[in-house]
Amino acid sequence: MKKTTTRLADGRELIYYDSRAAPARTAPDRRPLDPVSTASEIRHDRLLGDAVAIASHRQGRTYHPPADECPLCPSRAGRLSEIPEADYDVVVFENRFPSLAGDSGRCEVVCFTPDHDASFADLTPAQAALVLDAWTDRTAALSQLPQVAQVFCFENRGAEIGVTLGHPHGQIYAYPFTTPRTERMLASLAAHREATGGRNLFDDVLADERAAGRRIVLEGDHWTAFVPYAAHWPYEVHLYPRRRVPDLTALDDAARTEFPQVYLELLRRFDRIFDEGDGRGPRTPGAARTPYIAAWHQAPVRAADRAEFALHLELFTIRRTPGKLKFLAGSESGMNVFINDVPPEAAAERLREVASK
C-alpha cells in the first residue's frame, strides 16, 4: 500500500491509498474554499443516558447532485471535486459537513473507487483489500487522538437508507464517547462472564451458531457469517473472524487475506436476494441494488476489558421483500422493540440459495 497525505483548499486532510504502482499524487486543490465552519455539539439525554450530536451546519450539505457534479468523483477540466487528482484508488478525507468535529470527535469520508456507477460489490479482491487497509490505518490513527473514545467504520448504500451521494463511499466516525450500542454489548459481556465463571460471550455466540448450523450463511477458514438468532432486520448478517480480536488493527495476515473474498460474496448475495432471476447468476440487468448498512463494531479505544470485545461486521438491509421496506414504526421507534417479519432461519436459507456458482 502507498499512502499520500495532503490538504484541501480549506485545510481539511485528504489521504490517498494506492497500489504501489500508482503515480505520485501532487495535484493541488484549486477551489476557492472558505475555511470549514462547524457547530457540532454533544448533548446528553438525562433520561436515557444517550449522547446526541447537534450539528446544525449539516443542513446545507450536498444533496443528490447530478452525476456530472458528484463531489466524490475525480477532478477533471471544468469540474473540480473533493478529490484534486484525475484518478485514484481509495481516498479518505475529512468530511466538509461533519456530524462530529474538534473536541466532539471527527468524521471522515472513504471513497472506495473512482467509478461513480460502481458499488463495493463490484470491486476486485485487490481493491477490497485496499479498502480494508484504509479502514485499518484510519482506525489506528484516529485511536491516537486524545478526544476519541471509539472508531466506527461504516457504509450506507441506497437512497432508501438516506444516502445523499450516489458515489460508492463509506464514512468513519471517531466518537468522543463509547456509543450506547457498544455499552450494552459490554454490559452483556460482563454479565455473561460473571454468570459462566469467566467465559466470553462473543466466543460462545459464535461457537453456538457454528454448532447449530441453521443460520450459517457462509464460512471460510478465518471468517464466519451468520444470521443472528434474534435478528432485528429481515435480512441481517454478522461476520466474525474466527480468532477474536478487538479491532481491525489486530487482524492477522491470514484473516486480512481472506476477508475480501468473503465480504464481496456476502454483498453480491445481498444484491441477488430480491432479484427476480434464478438467484445464482449475475444480477438481472436493470435490477435495483439492495439498500444496506454495513457497520464495523470495534472495541472502545481505552476500555479496560477491550481485549474481551470481538471485532465483527453487521450487514443488514431495510428491504423485507421485493418492493417493500421495513419501516421503524411505533414499537421500534417508540420503544426500541423490533418486530421481524422474516424468521432468521428463512433469511439464512435464502442467502445460501443465492450463493455464487
Torsion of CA 328, 329, 333, 339, to 10 degrees: -70
* 40 neighbors 53 (Cβ within 8 angstroms): yes
- What sign has the CA pseudo-torsion 284, 285, 286, 291? positive
* Half-sphere exposure (Cβ direction) of 42: Cα atoms closer than 13 Å: 16
Going along 180-234, which residue ranges are E strands?
A: 216-219, 223-226
Q: Is 340 exposed, middle or buried (0-12, 13-18, 19+ CB in 10 A)?
A: middle
Going along 95-192, which residue ranges are E strands?
A: 106-111, 150-157, 169-175
Q: Looking at 167, 169, 238, 297, which residue is catalytic?
A: 169
Instruction: Determine if residue 260 is left, alpha or beta; phi over 0 gives left, psi from -120 to 50 gives alpha, anything else beta.
Output: alpha
Closest among 170, 180, 79, 62 to 123, alpha carbons compared: 170
Q: Is 126 exposed, middle or buried (0-12, 13-18, 19+ CB in 10 A)?
A: exposed
DSSP conformation class of 281 = S
One-letter amino acid for residue 306 of the chain: R
* Half-sphere exposure (Cβ direction) of 355: Cα atoms closer than 13 Å: 12
Backbone angles phi, psi at 180, to 5 degrees: -55, -40
Known active-site residue 169: yes
Rounded to whole angstroms, the Cα distance separating 189 from 200 reads 7
The residues assigned a catalytic role are: 169
